[in-house]
Every structure is written in structure tokens, then in C-alpha cells.
Structure 1
Amino acid sequence: MLIKVYGSAVFGIEATTITVEVNIDKGVGYHLVGLPDNAIKESNYRIAAALQNIGYKIPGKKITINMAPADMRKEGSAYDLTLALGILAASDQIKSNGIEEYLIMGELSLDGGLQPIKGALPIAIKAQEEGYAGFILPKENAAEAAVVSGLKVFGVGNIKEVIDYFDAGVPLKQTLVDTQKEFYKHMDDPAFDFSDVKGQESIKRCMEIAAAGGHNIILIGPPGAGKTMLAKRLPSILPPMTLNEALETTKIHSVVGKVRNQGLMGQRPFRSPHHTISSAALVGGGSYPQPGEISLAHNGVLFLDELPEFERRVLEVMRQPMEDREVTIARAQYTVTYPSSFMLVASMNPSPGGYFNDPDAPVTSSPAEMQRYLGRISGPLLDRIDIHIEVTPVPFEKLSENRKGEDSSTVRKRVMEARKIQNGRFMEMGNLHYNAQMGTKQIAKFCVLGDASKELLKNAMKRLNLSARAYDRILKVARTIADLDNTESIQESHISEAIQYRSLDREGWLG
């Protein structure tokens, strides 16, 4: 008897429906075809033990299973439940009425229990698009899949529940999620708040400008100055994600199995990989390409602590995704594209010893050592970082005072107002949403300077020996400062403040 059961495969962040055809005939043998990987080939052992432990068995006949389309590579253990139900239905051990109307996925334990799977959200979206009556999957993934409206999601803990549903009509409990409520639940509850930071008012201002314009930023300072503390609080002042952004971000995290027992992600991601990370782990890759840290930071913040300690070749592969805001990974059989629109926040010490060129510092470095240390970061990468700011240690008087600083929600309101201005400005420009994304044409159109501002910028570039690449960056940052001030034109004060944020462009900069 031939039975068809439906599962799904995830490539990139999109799902493709897989038809599992199970045919049982006279003879002996178990044949699984359709380019399954080793995890799927081993499924017959898990299925046999699971069925035996709940009172069923794999029939001693010739079983042929085809996973169509047969020319597409299938991987992972998430097809166990699909295959097991197909075998039971094809051998007439259970009724199969309506089984083809459901998408079924899950990894089996030997006692019949179900283990969570990866990619539940993109699979649910595909099931809804193709009009399936429901999606049956492990209960740990049910909340994740249930954010898709128009699809019935049934989270189950054991294969026996699914068998009883099809064979005896015992109803399954539908998982219901209020998408709007889930989305807003954690939005205004950040783990870190700017009010925790003592002093560093100029750096907070810098972070506010970076958040308002979507600018990449690098913090340079000695150990203990608060660079990491400030970076961790940046997501708390970024504008809340839109529903579409939250859905796309959750899909990426779902693919790598990082969304469990929760629905939609309400807060922007913050990723902080260790400096020993490989290029494949950073941008994505592997035999079966998986998203890297830059994609997991999509719509959020990627924090690279101690930037010069990262391998240079690892940092260089990040340059193109920073420009394109997506990364394409090509393999012989297929190509996948992952979105990677993130804000880069980097931090570094000004020297190998960690301190500025200060004779009173515990560890000092010569000017040559400091320049060599800074030279580990390539010019093209620095060219993609709009704001460079020096972070100095907080004095004792500031650390010991009880007065709390401005909280994140207050700063976020100003950032959102500035972003609102930018959204209106770039409304008819497709994928352009904030100032950091401006190209040469947009800079020429929206960053017009008066004579006094031009003269100020000209003198600054001469006196401070600023490089040519600093020119566009200064104009972008000045445009954002003007937006925070709700000013149509860029003033001299905006230019002068933006000039301060190009420390590493100064010729002979030593900290």
C-alpha cells in the first residue's frame, strides 16, 4: 500500500515541502531513497524502538520510502515522526484518513517522545502558504510555529498522541499565540539600561547618535573604561522592531534552533562572538550552510570586543556583507542567502599593553608598538565605521555618586523621533531607511552645507590631517546630529561635533 505524508526541509531561511512516499509490498528489506543524510538513514533504528515501546512495530515486509523531490539533499533527524506515521499508515496499523492534510515533523526518542526541531517558524510559514490544515510538531516548538496566523498548530509530546488522533479521533490540543501580545511582551523590558552607567556622558551621546543614524561605531580606551558596558546597552536605545523585522529575525534564529518555548522575538539581538571565531562561524557556512553571527545579529547589534585580536582574514570577509546587508554562501549544489543588516559596535585598546601613551600607566607601549597594533585593522574595514570615539576611565567622584543617569527609554524616544525624520526623508528610496545607508548621491542631496560649515570642515581636514574617506562619514554623522536637533539644515555645531568622532583618521593618532 502506498501512503504520502508531508514534511519540510529548510534551505537558508525558506522552507521547501518534502513528500514522503511510503510503499509496502511483498518481500523483505528497508530502502530509504531521496538523498537522505546519515541522521535520516539512522532513523529506522529510532523508529523501530519507539514503535515497539508503544505497542506497534515495523512490518517485516519490503518497505520503500522516497523523499521527494529526490534530487534535493535532506538532512537532520526531524523526519522521524513523518517516516514513522507513513510506515504505520502504509501497513494498515493505523487509519490514514486526512493524514495528507497535515505537515508533520519531529525527532523521535526511543520511548516515543518527541525532541524539538530546527526551523519550525519557516516551516510553519510554508505550511500556511500551501494551505495545509495543520502542522503537527514537538510541543517545545509549538509556540514558535503558532505565531503564524491562519494555521492550526498542534504541539505534541509523544508519537502515541498523534497515532490516537488519526486512528481513534482523540483531539490534539491546538497551540494558540496572540502574536501582537507576544510581540510587545518584552519590548520595553531591556536586560541592560543606560541609567546603570556612571559618568561617560560624551560616550552616551555618541551611542545615541549611532543609534539614531544606524552608524557603525568603534570605542577606543583602556581596560575598565566601560566599553563593553556601554555596548551591551546600545540595543536598549534602538527603535523597537517592526512586526516584519521581528518575524525575519525569529526565522533566522529558528533555523539554528535558538527559539524554544517562545514565540516572536520582541527585542533586537545582541551578538558578541569571541575573537577566536572562524570566518565561517562569523559570516555563515559549513557543508550545509548555516547562518553566522552577522546573520544572527540581523536587525540588532554585532559587538566585536578587542577588535585587533580577531584574525585579519576573518574581519575582511565581513566587508561585503556590511555593504550589501546580506551574505550569499555558494556551494556546488545550491546557494543560500542570509540577511545581515546589523549595527557594528567594536571596541579596542589603544595599544598592546591596553593603556594610552601614559608614563603613569601600569603597562606602557612605545609609539611604534601602538601604531603596529592599530595597523592590525585594515583601512577598508575602518572605512565602514562612521564613528570613532575615545573612552577614558571614569573618575572616582562619578563612580561614587548616587545620582542615576538618563534611562534608556528617554534616550530611545529621541532616537525614534530622529528615525521618524529619516523614514520620511527616504520614503521613496526603496531599501534606504536611515542615514548610515546613504550613498554619494544622497549625501550630495541631503547634506548640503552653508559657507561657514564648509569652511569649518575644510580647516578641520587640513589641521587634523583627516583622510579623504572621513569627509562622507562626517557629513552622514552631522546629518544625524541635525536630525536629533530636529533641524532641516546642517549647522556649524553639527559639523564640529561630527569632526570629533573621527579619531582614527587623524594622521599619527596614538590614542
Structure 2
Amino acid sequence: MLVKTYGSSVFGIEATIITVEVNVNKGIGYHLVGLPDNAVKESSFRIAAALDNNKFRLPGKKITINMAPADLRKEGSAYDLTIAMGILTASGQIKSKELSEYIIMGELSLDGSLQPIKGALPIAIKAREEGFKGIILPKQNAKEAAIVNDIKVYGVENIKEVIDFFEETKELTATIIDTRKEFYKELESPIYDFADVKGQEGIKRCMEIAAAGGHNIILVGPPGSGKTMLSKRLPGILPPMTLHEALETTKIHSVVGRVKENIGLMSQRPFRSPHHTISDVALVGGGTYPQPGEISLSHNGVLFLDELPEFKRSVLEVMRQPLEDREVTISRARFTVTYPSSFMLVASMNPSPGGYFNDPDAPVTSSPAEMQRYLGKISGPLLDRIDLHIEVTPVPFDKLSEERKGESSVEIRKRVIAARALQEKRFENDSSIHYNAQMEVKQLRAYCELDQESKLLLKKAMERLQLSARAYDRILKVSRTIADLENSVCIQPSHISEAIQYRSLDREGWLG
């Protein structure tokens, strides 16, 4: 008897329907075809034990299982439940007319209980698109999949519940999520608050500009000056994610199984802080079966690289293209996968191997030559792609001991949201651009016109600092953001002047 059940495979961040054809006939043998990997091949042992422990059996006949399309690689253990239900129906142990109307996914334990799977959200989206009645998957993934409307999502704990459901001896309760309520629940509660930061008013201003325009930023300063503390608070002043951004972000985290249990939709912007020993594949994504890397997991959020010169040069260089294109493409001989990677890069570093500026009173000093050699680990083209270069100095005792709290993240965020609203209106006819950092040459010419005084100021800076054409574009983008924060239609000389100040690493002898 031939029976078809349906599962799904995640390719990139999109799902593909997999048809599992199970044929039970006279003879002996278990044949699994359709490009399964080792985890799928081993499913027969898990299925046999799970059925046996639930008073069913693996039939002693010739079982042929085909996973179509047969030219697409199937990987992982999530097909256990799909195959098991096909075997039970094809061997006549259960009867069901509705089996083909559901996507069925789950990894089986030997006692028949189900383990969570990866990619539940894109699988649910695909199931709805293909017109399936519902999706059956492990209970741990139910809230994640239930974000998708207009499809029934059943979370189950063991295979017996699934068998009883299809034999109509037991009802399953569909998981229902109010997506908008889930989304707005945690929006107004930043984990880290700028009010906790003593002093550093100038750096807070830079962070506000970076958040308002989506600009990349690098902080340079000695140990203990507050670089990490400031960076961790940046997501708290970014505008709340839109529902579309939240879905897109959750989708990427779902593919790698990083969505926390019992959390349906990610409402907080991601903040990723990989260790400096990370490999280039782990950062940008890839592998034999490509997976998203840290830059894609940071999509719509912040990627924080602490101690930038300690990262391998090859790791930093592979970021150059994603920083420009805001997506990363991983190519293999037979296929190509593209992951979105529109993130804000926040980097921090010490100015020298010893960690301190050229200060005779510092506990560890380095010569200017050593400092330049240390900074030389970061390539010019990468620095060009960072809009704001900021020097961070230690906070004096009188500031640290102040009782007065600084401005809160909520107050700063209000100004950032107002500036972003201006940018949304400005770029409303261009679906690929949402904030100033994303502007291309065409938009720069249209929205960053300068008066004569501003042009002369920028010309002097270009000649004196020997800035590249990319750095010129960066200054225009930052000055546009500063103007937006002041609700100014035109870019003023003061805006250009402030933007030039944020190119510290372009200045010869910036260490003094």
C-alpha cells in the first residue's frame, strides 16, 4: 500500500515541501531514498523503538520510502514523525483520510516523545502558502509556528497523541497566538538603560546619531572607559522593530534553532557579541549545509565586535561586502543561498597593545610606532565602511561619584524615532531604503545638497585628512542624520563640522 505524508525542508530561510512516499509490499527490507543524510537514515532505529514502546510495530515487510524532490538534500532528524506516520498508515495499523492535509514534523525519542525542531516558523509560512489545513509539530515549537495566521498549529508531546488525532479518538487543541499582542508586550522595556552611564555625554550623543541614521560606529579608548557598557545600551535607543522586521528576524533565528522556548515572536532587536576567536564561516555563515552566521543573526539589530584588532584579519575582511550590500550570498557548486544581514556594526578597541593612549602617567605605555602597528591590523577599506570613529576617554572621579542620573534610553529613543520618521517619509518611494545609512549615490545627490560654506569646509577636510570617496559619502550621510535630529530641512555647516569630527581614525596623528 502506498501512502503520502508531508514534511518540510528549510533551504536558506525559506521552506520547501517534502513529500514522503511510503510503500509497504511483500518482501523484506527497509529502503530510504531521496538524498537523505545520516541523521535521516538513522531514523529507522528511532522509529522502530518508538513504535514498539507505544504498542505498534515496524512491519516485517519490504518498506520503500522516497523523499521527493529526490534531488534536494534532506538533513536532520525532524522527518522521524513524518516517516513514522507514513509507515503506520501504509501498513494498515492506523486509518486516516486527513493525513495528506497536514505538515507533520518532529524528532522521535525512543519512548515516542518528541524533541524540538529547527525552522518551525518558515515551515508554517510555507504550509499556509501551499494550502495545508494545519501543521503538527513538537509542543516546544508550537508558539513559534502559531505566529502564522490562517493555519491550525497543533503542538504535541508524543507520537501517541498524533495517532489518536488521526484516528479521531482524541482531539488536539490548536495553539493560538495574538501576534500583535505578543509583539507589543515587551517593546517599552530596554534591558540596559543609558541612565546608568555616568558622564560620557559626548559619546551618548554619538550613539544617538548612530541610532538615528543606522550608522556603523567604532569606539577607541583605554580599558574601563565604558566602551562595552555604552555599546550594550545601543539597542535600547533604536526604534522598535516593525511587525515585518520582527517576523523576518524570528525567521532567521528559527532556522538555526535560536528562538527561545515559549517565545513566539522576537520583539527586541538582536544584540550579538561574538568572541574574537570566531571563524569567518561562523561570522558570515556557510558550512557544508549553509547556515546563517552572526551577521545574519544580527539582522535588524546590532553586531558588537569587542577588541576589533584581536579578530583575525580574514574574518574582518569577509564583512566588507555584507556591510555594503546588507545581505550575504553563500555559493556552492549546486546552489546559492542568500541571507539578509542589515545590521548596525558597533566595534570597540584599545588604541594600543598596552591599552592606553600615549600618556606618560599611564600604567602601560606604547610608542607611537607600536600604536600604529596595532591599528594597522584593521584595513583602511573596513574603516571606510564605518561612519563614526569615536575616541572614548576615562570618566573622571567627580562624574563617577555623581548621584544625578543621566538621560534615560526612553527619552533618547523618542528623538531617534522622530528622526527615523523623517527618513521614512523621505524614502517612502524607495522600498529598499529606510534610513540614512542605506543611501546610495542617487539619494546622496538628492537629499544631501550643500551650500557654498559647507562645500568649502568639506573640501578642506578632504584635502587635509586625505579622505577617500567612501569617507566623503559617510560624512554626508552622518551630517544628514544630524540635521534630521535637529529637524532641519537643509544640511548646515555646523552639521558638516560635527560629522567631520567623527572621523577620528582618518586624522593623521589622532593620538596626539
> 1:106, CA displacement in angstroms?
0.1
**Other-structure match for 2:285:** 284
**Other-structure match for 2:329:** 328
> 1:463, CA displacement in angstroms?
4.9
CA-to-partner distance for each residue in 1:326-354, whole Å, 9 max, x for gaps?
A: 11111122111100000000000000100
> What is the letter of the counterpart of residue 453 of structure 1?
S
> What is the letter of the counterpart of residue 448 of structure 2?
C
The 1:94–1:407 alpha-carbon spacing in structure 2 relative to 1, beyond 3 Å, is same
CA–CA distance in 2 between the matches of 1:353 and 1:466? 28
Residue segments in structure 1 that go unaligned for 5+ positions in a row: none
CA–CA distance in 2 between the matches of 1:255 and 1:273? 19
Aligned pairs for 1:451-470 within 5 A: 451-463=452-464, 466=467, 469-470=470-471
Aligned residues of 2:106 and 2:138 also touching (Cα < 8 A): yes
Aligned residues of 2:212 and 2:420 also touching (Cα < 8 A): yes
> What is the letter of the counterpart of residue 174 of structure 1?
A
Over aligned residues, Cα RMSD in angstroms?
1.2
Aligned residues of 1:212 and 1:480 also touching (Cα < 8 A): yes
**Other-structure match for 1:235:** 235
Structure 2 counterpart SS, 1:487: coil
**Other-structure match for 2:506:** 505
> What is the letter of the counterpart of residue 87 of structure 1?
I
Q: Tell me whether 1:365 sits opposite 2:370 in the alignment.
A: no
**Other-structure match for 2:123:** 123
CA–CA distance in 2 between the matches of 1:466 and 1:340? 27
Residue identity (%): 77
**Other-structure match for 1:48:** 48
Length-normalised TM-score, structure 1: 0.98
CA–CA distance in 2 between the matches of 1:391 and 1:510? 12
CA–CA distance in 2 between the matches of 1:73 and 1:457? 55
CA-to-partner distance for each residue in 1:190-237, whole Å, 9 max, x for gaps?
A: 211111111100000000000001110000000010001111110111
CA-to-partner distance for each residue in 1:23-58, whole Å, 9 max, x for gaps?
A: 000011100111100001000111111111111110
> 1:453, CA displacement in angstroms?
2.1
Q: Tell me whether 1:309 sits opposite 2:318 in the alignment.
A: no
> 1:299, CA displacement in angstroms?
0.5
**Other-structure match for 1:179:** 179
Aligned residues of 2:385 and 2:470 also touching (Cα < 8 A): no
Q: Tell me whether 1:427 sits opposite 2:421 in the alignment.
A: no
Aligned residues of 1:303 and 1:346 also touching (Cα < 8 A): yes
Aligned residues of 1:465 and 1:507 also touching (Cα < 8 A): no
Q: Tell me whether 1:151 sits opposite 2:146 in the alignment.
A: no
Residue segments in structure 2 that go unaligned for 5+ positions in a row: none
CA–CA distance in 1 between the matches of 2:470 and 2:10? 41
> 1:316, CA displacement in angstroms?
0.6
CA–CA distance in 2 between the matches of 1:444 and 1:47? 63
Aligned residues of 1:23 and 1:90 also touching (Cα < 8 A): yes
**Other-structure match for 1:19:** 19
> 1:462, CA displacement in angstroms?
4.5
Length-normalised TM-score, structure 2: 0.98
CA-to-partner distance for each residue in 1:444-502, whole Å, 9 max, x for gaps?
A: 22112222222333334455555554322222111100000000111122112111100
**Other-structure match for 1:441:** 442
**Other-structure match for 1:480:** 481
Aligned pairs for 1:164-313 within 5 A: 164-259=164-259, 260-313=261-314
> What is the letter of the counterpart of residue 195 of structure 2?
S
Structure 2 counterpart SS, 1:392: coil
Structure 2 counterpart SS, 1:195: helix
CA–CA distance in 2 between the matches of 1:398 and 1:305? 25
Aligned residues of 2:30 and 2:63 also touching (Cα < 8 A): yes
CA–CA distance in 1 between the matches of 2:127 and 2:467? 55
**Other-structure match for 1:110:** 110
Moved more, 430-439 or 348-357: 430-439
The 1:174–1:223 alpha-carbon spacing in structure 2 relative to 1, beyond 3 Å, is same
Aligned residues of 1:352 and 1:369 also touching (Cα < 8 A): yes
> 1:440, CA displacement in angstroms?
2.3
Q: Tell me whether 1:346 sits opposite 2:343 in the alignment.
A: no
Aligned residue pairs, count: 511
Structure 2 counterpart SS, 1:77: coil
CA–CA distance in 1 between the matches of 2:41 and 2:137? 20
> What is the letter of the counterpart of residue 167 of structure 2?
D
CA-to-partner distance for each residue in 1:346-405, whole Å, 9 max, x for gaps?
A: 000000100011011111101100001111101110110000000001111111111111
